[in-house]
Amino acid sequence: MEFLKKHYEKIALAVVSLMMIATALTLVNRLGFDGSEPPDITTNRSAATPLDTNELMQVATLLKNPPSWRTNDGPRPFIPEPWNWNGKELFPATEPPPTPVVAGDPADELQWWMASRTFPMKFMSVVSGVGTNKVFQINPGMGTRFVKIGDPPIRQSIYGTMEEFTVLRYEEKKVEWFNPAIGAKTVTDVSVLTLQRKSAGVTKEIPLVIGKQVLESEPVARYHSSTTGEWSGDLKKGSKFNYKGKTYELVRLDINPPQLIFKDVQTQKEYRRRPRVVQRF
């Protein structure tokens, strides 16, 4: 026991060495190492297949004797050829012109909004005069005016659009009726003054009864371009507008149900849209 205590390191090292030797012998037996010499790979016992040099010989021959350049063969960079111009690009005269790229319809780029505009009009009184010289006091929406039949049109801005009002005719009319409040007959003036309103190229007659206010209401539309970002001004039925070189006309504008129709003036093609209705612009 004293020997083991003093020399236990040597004994452990001897045991490990024996185990390693046994493992090495086992591997040699399993892998089949027989101790024969490895084959010699420095010598090539079979002859290599010769390369095909025909293509290389042809290339070498062409390099020594290059083919001559004949000017009859195209293309001819030093001999000018006729070219044509179609407004956008050049192309050889011997070739057909390139097919133009058909762009999308500009009308499809427009997004529409609609609102209803209302303003009051009133035939206030007959100021003076007789016959065709009568002077009428009217209010065509924005302030009092004094006019006669035959006067030049009144130019009035309504919601930013310059409009024209012309006095067409005057019909004097009185109505007699029984007034129970006073227990007697009363005569009421119901004379009618007819104005002609011209707005955005559209002409309309407006009859005004003296002393009565009339509310003129009409739909207006605006478009927004999804490509250019531009906004139009107020457009009414009959308004014409230009977009990307084309002229369009607004031929129908309904507020209930909302519907909008405009057409290409050149081709007469119609476009139907359902605009978004808003309270005001």
pTM above 0.75, yes or no: no
Within-domain flag for 246: yes
Q: Quick one: which H or E segment has residue 219?
A: strand 213-225
Please tell me the chain's helix, strand, coil percentages from 3-state DSSP, rounded to the nearest 5: 15, 45, 40
> Domain range holding 146?
118-217
Within-domain flag for 182: yes
- Decide: 235 and 222 in contact? Cβ < 8 Å: yes
257: preceding bond cis by omega (within 30 degrees): yes
Most confident of the following: 42-46, 102-106, 227-231: 227-231
Within-domain flag for 134: yes
Within 10 A of 165 (CB to CB), how many other CB atoms are there? 22
Q: Which of 215, 250, 242 is nearest to 139 (CA)?
A: 215
Within-domain flag for 198: yes
Query: What is the model's pLDDT at position 9?
Result: 80
- Domain shared by 163 and 239, yes or no: no
Query: What is the model's pLDDT at position 14?
Result: 79
Grouping H, G, I as helix, E, B as strand and the rest as coil, residue 15 is helix
Provide the terminal-to-terminal Cα distance of the chain, rounded to the nearest Å.
Answer: 112
- Domain shared by 226 and 265, yes or no: yes
Show the DSSP H helices in the chain as ranges: 2-6, 8-31, 54-64
Residues 10-28: pLDDT tens digits? 777 877 788 888 887 887 6
Within-domain flag for 247: yes
Residues 197-236: pLDDT tens digits? 887 677 888 899 998 888 888 888 999 998 899 999 888 8
Whole-Å CA distances, 267 to 26, 41, 143, 264, 271: 100, 88, 43, 6, 12
pLDDT at 119 over 50: yes
pLDDT at 98 over 60: no
Q: Which of 243, 236, 235 is nearest to 265 (CA)?
A: 243
- Domain shared by 212 and 135, yes or no: yes
Within 10 A of 194 (CB to CB), how many other CB atoms are there? 16
Within-domain flag for 255: yes
pLDDT at 264 over 90: yes
Within-domain flag for 13: no
Q: How far apart are CA 259 and CA 242, in angstroms?
A: 21
Count how many domains the chain has.
2
Q: Pick the residue with more confidence: 263 or 49?
A: 263
Where does a domain end: 200, 217, 234? 217
Strand 213-225 relative to strand 184-189: parallel, antiparallel, unpaired? Answer: unpaired
The pair of structure tokens assigned to 107 is 């009308």
Where does a domain end: 179, 202, 217? 217
- Domain shared by 156 and 228, yes or no: no
- Domain shared by 145 and 230, yes or no: no
- Domain shared by 210 and 231, yes or no: no
Where does a domain end: 181, 197, 217? 217
- Confidence band, pLDDT 50/70/90 cuts, at residue 60: confident
- Domain shared by 212 and 164, yes or no: yes
Within-domain flag for 189: yes
- Domain shared by 182 and 245, yes or no: no
- Domain shared by 212 and 125, yes or no: yes
